[in-house]
Amino acid sequence: MYSDFEKIVIHQLQDIVDKQADSQKSFSHLDRKVDLHIQKTEYELKRINELDNQQNKLIDQHIEGVKSIKDLVESHRIEYINKISTNSTRINKLEAPEMAKKWIKDNLYWIFTTIGLVAGLVSKIKGIW
């Protein structure tokens, strides 16, 4: 049937075919693994983008909240300054008569002393003439 040489060649060819089939299976398996890895990576990147968009929305809401709080604080500060100004004006109006009374009271001694001095001088001058 076959000679020893032919048997060796056939056996080597059979080994080559078997190895090629194993290599093809291995490459097919690797190809599937790569495809699954690509799909998984695409899914992960899609999810990362979704989470990134959610995070950006939350950051935008936070920024809006900070701006509204800043505006609120600024309006309260302005309102407070206006109230202080109004209250200060009211207090000054209320204190004006009191301040005049206090000035008169504090200076009454000097006023009477001056009036007495002038009256005394006038009487001395009348007494001389």
Residue 1: other Cβ atoms inside 10 A: 4
**CA dihedral (116, 122, 123, 125) positive or negative:** positive
Average pLDDT over the chain, rounded to whole? 86
- More confident of the two residues 37 and 86: 37
Instruction: State the pTM of this model.
Output: 0.46
Q: Count the residues in the chain.
A: 129
DSSP state of 1: -
Residue 66: other Cβ atoms inside 10 A: 10
Helix, strand, coil in percent for the chain, rounding step 5? 95, 0, 5
Q: Is the pLDDT of residue 129 over 60?
A: no
Q: How confident is the model at residue 40 (pLDDT cuts 50, 70, 90)?
A: very high
pLDDT at 108: 80
Q: What does the pLDDT average to over 122-127?
A: 81
* 3, containing H or E segment: none
